Homo-oligomer: A and B are copies of this chain.
Amino acid sequence: MGVHFHKAKQNRIYQDVVEQIQTAILDGQIVPGDKLPPERELCEMFQASRGTLREALRILEQKSLIEIRLGMNGGAYVKDANAELMAENLAILIQSQNVSLRHLAEFREVVEGAVAELAAVRATATDKRKLADLIGQAAGYREQGPQLWDKFVHMDEKIHIELACVAGNPLYRFIHHSIHKNIHRYYDTLLIVGKDEMEENFRDLSAIVDAVVTGDAERAKRCAADHVRRFSAYMEQKKRLTPDR
């Protein structure tokens, strides 16, 4: 018999719903900010029960493609894609495979080095002004006493993000964010910096930005890697001093 039947497969309904909505979102047929119809209407559209449809919405929510709000004007809103999800998945992988702080730092060293190198090559005049401005702000916080030191720490983060943007490859933004989030899950309480560390940190950042601004890719790369290495070493040291974590 030459006829060839394919499997009379009955896709999980919720899966089909997920795929249809996901495709519509990724194809741009519905864009971030848009609101999907209320559950009861979606049920009719997909000819599915509310329970099944809700399973689909839960999956889309978990994928960070939609956000479900309560109350009047509530409903499923299409979200802007962001790197939060990757960070969370990475966290699960890290936890279940015993990835150490050292592993994270080792990887970050390479990534930040590559970011600085690319940034030095690709920075436009506008980028350079922006970076210089950020360094200026950090310098300001640095001088105004301990109560602003946490703002300085925040600037450090901001400068790294800006560098990743300047590097012009979105992957670096995603990866940096994911790694950074997970490193924080270890450090966090250790992030109360002392003056000396802050000063050294500031010198590091200045050096990186200076190299980027002058277009010295090789030096930028070296400075960034050194910076991450020094920072990680500090944190490791602090961790040893407070072994109760």
Interface size class of A (residues with CB under 8 A): 35 or more
Interface 9-residue window, one of A59-67, A143-151, A204-212, A229-237: A59-67
Interface string of A210-223 (1 = CB under 8 A from B): 00000000000000
State in angstroms the CA–CA spacing of A172 and B111 once bound together. 11
State in angstroms the CA–CA spacing of A95 and B55 once bound together. 24
A93 CB contact (under 8 Å) in B81, B97, B99, B104? B81
A170 CB contact (under 8 Å) in B58, B86, B99, B171? B99
In the complex, are the beta carbons of B59 and A62 less than 8 A apart?
yes
Determine whether A85 belongs to the interface, using a CB cutoff of 8 Å to chain B: yes
Interface string of A50-94 (1 = CB under 8 A from B): 010011001100111100000000000000011101100110110
State in angstroms the CA–CA spacing of A99 and B170 once bound together. 7
Q: List 23 A-B contacts (CB under 8 A).
A: A14-B58, A26-B92, A26-B96, A51-B54, A54-B55, A55-B58, A62-B63, A63-B89, A63-B92, A81-B92, A81-B93, A83-B93, A89-B89, A93-B170, A93-B174, A97-B170, A99-B171, A103-B170, A106-B118, A106-B171, A107-B114, A110-B111, A175-B175
